[in-house]
Chains A and B, each alone.
Chain A
């Protein structure tokens, strides 16, 4: 018997209680589906091979393999469903960060406004070149195996010693915008800085899959780079242990 859904539940695969009733809703993206089918096939094959020698291991391989295979073939993952993950549409990155710098507001503002300073401590920026008062050219590298990306940005609004707002120019590979605000902290505690940053991931095709893998990493990278601003302007350096000895081979 076909289930008739009221309009508001159509295409969600859920009934009014929120329970999943339609297993055909696709919540796994294409690259992940291909991976699931391949991995599932491998596990099933390996499970069958070890059925005699290691029956317990074989059984778990067969179960896991079947689940993976079904998930890939159908495009529906029951675990994603339960955890509320939508693997098809990647999340945009929206970061808000607040910190207090033990320096006067004018100095903190001026240091940030000279955009060419940013690569001194934002480790993933290769360079920022100011082309005129409002426009700049940015170059970044997010991993040693990935090529550099570059984009142009403009300052869309600013008030001296108070805020700077920027946005990447239309058509940029990295579509981003943000704002940084500076306020006096009470009682001579320096300057309160609030950074808001948003990044819109590309949607569609293989880019979706890449963005989905990349976004959580990118969010940490951006947060660390913003933190480095405070470390650099206060302590004059970004603390590190990279390059120190250890007993790890």
Chain B
């Protein structure tokens, strides 16, 4: 089959590789119909996530058709049209049983590696480095899905592919971002990053009763999409003093909930950007936390910071004094997709959320390297490129 493989920093190649096979009895093989790029893939693309190996197949947001099932697969059958959650959960450990699927005890074959880095191991993720299990990703014609009954969900006919594919990652991540913010009616929510996850967080925040959501980004087309599709107010951090503008928008109180949908490659302006870039280049800090710092500064006293942008390692100049004295609550995490899928399907069926505007660039898998270049450089107004590997 054809697959998009990581070979080094900004070096992706479409290769012919063997087809996946069933390796464990709860596996299924999925013929991929759609596989989306995700902002978090850019951290792999730009070389900021450790433990990538040449030849790794990347991609984790996908859907397709079940073509083979292992002998212990009970719910799925050949021919099912399914969307697959990007994190892998065994379904039996304490974490999966209590809905915290991305903290699964048993789905990471390289648990020993993650224990060395994080002291505990978390769930495996498709195509997201060996630290997260080294599973082959979805930018391929076929993919093996472990614990398939847990992670693959049959999509109702009424939900078309261009909506369903985002139930894999962008929608549950945005949903969980808003949920961790514990939004109450009347709250003002600020969302940093108006990409796929940020847009979904904005829409969910409104569903949860937010009075007003403010999107912060620097790309005009993304801010326009946030205003048009997600009904957010928008701020461009390159031309606005964000702390001041957020006070102005909230009668001086500050946003009740601040969502970081950017993560470790945050950009900002001026000396702070130069400082973090230099430290990251020299490997003195692995992640650039400009958004996180600004969110902590901007948040109202007693407010909540919700972090779904991906961080991998260490950050520098963390404003702990601000966080502590302002009495902030901070939560973060990879999304527990399996916990949200059924509800998200219902929200789509009820027309309360429509993520299809994210799919700006349907592309063949062969265009993988160009698609990532475009997505990384934010050219051609790209929200998300989605591969159709079997077209």
Contact = CB atoms under 8 A, between A and B. Distances in A.
Given A102-B94, A190-B94, A234-B106, A241 B147 contact: no
Interface centre among A189, A240, A245, by most B CB within 10 Å? A245
A239 B24 contact: yes
Contact of B17 (A220, A238, A241, A246): A246
B297 to A, nearest CB: 39
Interface centre among A223, A242, A248, by most B CB within 10 Å? A248
B55 A246 contact: yes
Contacts of A230: 105-106
Contacts of B1: 245
Contacts of B20: 244-245
A interface SS class: loop
A235 to B, nearest CB: 4
B90 interface: yes
A189 B94 CA distance: 7
B203 to A, nearest CB: 34
A235 B135 contact: no
A74 interface: no
A186 interface: no
Contacts of B109: 238-241
Contacts of A246: 5, 17, 53, 55-57, 136
Contact of B112 (A100, A224, A231, A239): A224
A239 B132 CA distance: 12
B281 to A, nearest CB: 27
Given A245-B18, A246-B136, A235 B92 contact: yes
Interface residues of B, number: 44
Interface in B122-175: 124, 133-136, 140, 144, 146-147
B117 to A, nearest CB: 15
A138 to B, nearest CB: 23
Nearest to A233: B92
A232 to B, nearest CB: 9
Interface in B1-47: 1, 3, 5, 7, 13, 15, 17-21, 23-26
A221 to B, nearest CB: 11
B106 A247 contact: no
Contacts of A248: 53-55
A247 B135 contact: no
Interface string A197-219: 00000000000000000000000
A227 interface: yes
A111 to B, nearest CB: 14
Contact of B105 (A234, A244, A247): A234
A220 B112 contact: yes
A224 B24 CA distance: 18
Interface string A47-65: 0000000000000000000
Contacts of B55: 246-249
B286 interface: no
A223 B110 CA distance: 12
B97 interface: yes
Contact of B57 (A190, A239, A247): A247
11 contacts: A224-B112, A234-B105, A235-B26, A236-B26, A236-B72, A239-B106, A239-B107, A241-B109, A244-B144, A245-B1, A247-B56
> Nearest 4 CB-CB pairs, A to B?
A247-B5, A248-B55, A247-B55, A235-B90
